[in-house]
Structure 1
Amino acid sequence: MSAARASLQRAALYAGGFLGPFGGGVVASVLPEIGAATGVSAGAAASTLTAYLGPFALTMLVSGTLGARWGRVRTVRTAYIAYTCASLASALAPTLGLLLASRALQGVANAFTTPLLLAALAAIVPRARLGRALGLFGAMQAAGQTSAPLVGGLAAEVDWRWAFVVIAAAAAVLAVIGLPEQLTAPTGEPPPRLRDALRPDVLRIGVVALLGWGALGGLNFLLAFRAEDVFGLAPTQRGLLLTGFGVAGILTARRVGTLIDRIGARRTVLLGALAGAALVVVAGTAGLLWLVAAAWFVAGIASQCVLVGVNAAVLGSRGRNRGGAVSVVQAFRFSGGAVAPLALTPLYAAAPVASFVVPALVLAVVAPLAMPRRDTAPG
């Protein structure tokens, strides 16, 4: 294999990180348009978020362990192909029911990429530099979250279905490139077991990941509602507002990784959780659009502290089946995104301010209690 192809495959390992947040969030800024096209309300259209993230999260409870048994390279490539087909089905779905079904298939397919890519990073990156590598991966995930609402908003100016065509094309390219072939080499270790991943410390980190996504990045759809109701923003304008969160993540994720290597995962996570909670309150209550945009931008940095930190904490541990463990943590993380629309959409309808304040308080209180005190971050 040529050096150029090896470099391309290594880059694809990082690039694959954007698909989960991109696929999950591409509908966040166009829920009113999806509702209009399928004959339902914007609130009912919010179920397209849960339809993706629910199966995504549930499947990730076992996908890391199963993928390690089947072979990371083969499993990830197959998942990319399945993701391409499901994305095209979403683009062609004529009714909300069929759209929900195809979104669920997207979620299941993507569950076999994200945790396996993270485990692959841990396998090929020296422990002392793992935080920085995870920071770069986090930057790619932030890029997915950043481009998702913007691409969705731009597509809605013509037809929101084109957003799914973009997703399908991206997954197809990654399937062709593949992953570094060194990951196919036998490790000499026994087959991984799911029970090795379901340790108490992993489950506690998972709770923090759930809150870090559900109460920060998972509120994109809620901010889109507020942007339309309070400020009267059009789809593209809503997409631009939501984009700030991801832009901040792209710009700072690698620095967050370096911070983790220096001060540890636990401190970084707690810093992000407390700061993020305060910023969510500002974004959900401020009456000035520029202040909302600024708070949401800085919240993107806080989110990276939490999400890159929990990945570093679980991958930096010395327990068996690290791939399965990070899969469990990612399952918790995206469960937060799946639960948020179901829990917060009715609350927003009844009390808009409370729909931002409540998740912020839960994040600020629970994250410090749940995060294991023994720091397992690399370094």
Structure 2
Amino acid sequence: MRRAALYVGGLLGPFGAGVVSSMLPELARTFDVSQSSAATSLTAYLLPFALVMLVSGTLGERWGPMRTIRVAYAGYVVVALLAALAPWFWLFQVSRGLQGVANAFTTPLLLTKLASVTPKERLGRTLGLYGAVQSIGQTSAPLIGGLAAESSWRWAFVGIAAVAAVLTASPLPPDERAAEQAPRLRDAWRPVVVWSGVVIFVAWACLAGLPFLVAFRVDDAFALGPGARGLVLTAFGLAGIVTARLVGSVADRFGPRLAVCAGLLLGAVAVASIGLVAALPLVVLAWAVGGLCGQLVLVGVNALVLGGEANGRGGAISVVTALRFLGMSASPAAFTDLYRHSAVWGFLLPGVLLAATAPLLAHRIFRSGTGPRARLRHSRG
């Protein structure tokens, strides 16, 4: 039961971040702002979330991971209700930022706890299951947001507060005995962490960070309402849920580096095609393939980092997850204006960046000593 609570907690981050993706036109009308300004509600959540997460994993290990998680859930309840009641756009944005800060103290600590109770040879499958739960959050968020916007988008944040309240009351595993030496911030910044973080920054900016752009695309090209837009966006998360077990097995059998490279290259094709195809089913299919690719990248990178040395592991996954969401927060600013200029280039450029990142990963991770041959040499030594 307590282990299950660790998995369920993983949905809150992508749920809270993505709930506004399909309601941006309605937010713009409610607060009398442009759609570009409404899209910054994604950044308002993700930027504080990512910046605080550069240190939250280490701080949470010092304070007690499970205690820190429970306090963060309780804070999330309060600030989600603030978003539901906000009469002004600036206050709504403040509430989004505070949601991000609260969530920064849950995501990395949940991952670290799961890694500590999982045998290394099954780590990929465990992370795949955790990724599936996150995909449920990512899938349900735009759908709930779109359906809520049919009457009032504010109900979506009431729902978020309810989810956080349930998690606050859920049983969690007890904290382990504190280590003799408290973790230091610099313990997290190993070379494999830095380069893995660079890769996932690009991947989340150019792949998993694009639901807002897909929503714009299906609205402009096919005139879909908010509920239908939310349904289209669920394709990404549904694909991640369905393929989670397979992705975890691939990472365990062939190594996380190969899983990440495959996700980047296939994701490049999927993203670029969204701006080129003129049929709605093909757009949905391409976005679903993107969901599979996102799982490959996420599980692979997390396995690279959590499969290393235990000292500072919480801080390490916190840094990588921070860079992941910093990439996601940069996506609206990077691609919205480009998309308005040209729908084709709005999706083609992210595809090119994904493809260009794969050789970087293959080279740097291999040299850092985490590739299959390096692991083989280590086992023989």
- Structure 2 vs 1, CA of residues 376 and 166 (structure 1 numbering), >3 Å: closer, same or farther? farther
Which residue matches 2:379? none
1:309 aligned residue: 300
Q: Which amino acid aligns with 1:326?
A: I
Aligned residue number for residue 345 of structure 2: 354
- Alignment partner for residue 363 of structure 1, among 333, 337, 354? 354
Q: CA deviation at 1:189?
A: 4.4
Q: Provide the C-alpha distance between the structure 2 equivalents of 1:352 and 1:64, rounded to a whole number of angstroms.
A: 38
How much has 1:178 moved relative to structure 2?
3.6
For these two proteins, the number of residue pairs brought into alignment is 370
1:53 counterpart = 2:46: yes
328-337 or 349-358, which moves further after superposition? 349-358
Q: Give the CA deviation at 1:375.
A: 2.9
The letter of the residue matching 1:23 is: G
Partner residue in 2 for 1:245: 236
Name the CA distance, whole Å, in 2 between partners of 1:331 and 1:229. Answer: 32
For the 8 Å contact 2:50–2:321, the answer to whether it is kept is yes
Does the CA contact (< 8 Å) of 1:265 and 1:375 recur in 2?
A: no
Q: Aligned-pair distance for 1:41? A: 1.3
- Alignment counterpart, residue 322 of structure 1, candidates 298, 309, 313: 313
For the aligned residues, what is the CA RMSD? 1.4
Partners of 1:274 and 1:21 in 2: CA distance: 23
Query: Is residue 63 of structure 2 the alignment partner of residue 65 of structure 1?
Result: no
Aligned residue for 1:93? Answer: 86
* Partner residue, 1:156: 149
Identity score, percent: 56
For the residues of structure 1 that align with 2:270 and 2:327, how far apart are their CA atoms?
A: 18
TM superposition score normalised by structure 1: 0.95
2:242 corresponds to 1:266? no
1:292 matched to which residue of 2?
Answer: 283
* Equivalent residue in structure 2 for 1:81, among 74, 77, 92: 74
Partner Cα separation in structure 1 for residue 16 and residue 269 of structure 2: 27
Shift of the 376–121 alpha-carbon distance from structure 1 to 2, 3 Å rule, reads farther
Q: Kindly indicate whether the alpha-carbon contact (under 8 Å) linking 2:28 and 2:38 is maintained by their aligned counterparts in 1.
A: yes
Note the alpha carbon deviations across 1:89-117, whole angstroms, 9 max, x for none: 01111111000000000000000000000
Residue in structure 2 matched with residue 170 of structure 1 by the alignment: 163
Could you tell me whether the CA contact under 8 Å between 1:214 and 1:340 is conserved in 2? yes
Q: Partners of 1:91 and 1:337 in 2: how far apart?
A: 23
Q: Could you tell me how far apart the structure 2 residues matched to 1:170 and 1:254 are?
A: 25
Q: Where does structure 1 differ by over 4 angstroms across 4 or more consecutive aligned residues?
A: 376-379
TM-score computed with the length of structure 2 as normaliser: 0.95
Indicate yes or no: 2:29 matched with 1:39. Answer: no
Q: Deviations over 1:55-84 (max 9, x none)?
A: 000010000000000000100000000111
The 1-side partners of 2:310 and 2:118 are apart by 17
- In the alignment, the residues of structure 1 paired with residue 332 and residue 298 of structure 2 have an alpha-carbon distance, to the nearest angstrom, of 20
Q: SS of the residue aligned with 2:122?
A: helix
Q: 2:11 aligns to what?
A: 18
> 2:344 is paired with a residue of what secondary structure?
helix
Distance 1:212 1:253 in 2: 18
Q: Give, in whole Å, the separation in 1 of the partners of 2:371 and 2:56.
A: 23
Unaligned runs of 5+ in 2: 377-381
Q: Contact conserved, 1:209 with 1:332, CA < 8 A, in 2?
A: yes
Q: In 2, Cα distance between the equivalents of 1:315 and 1:189?
A: 21
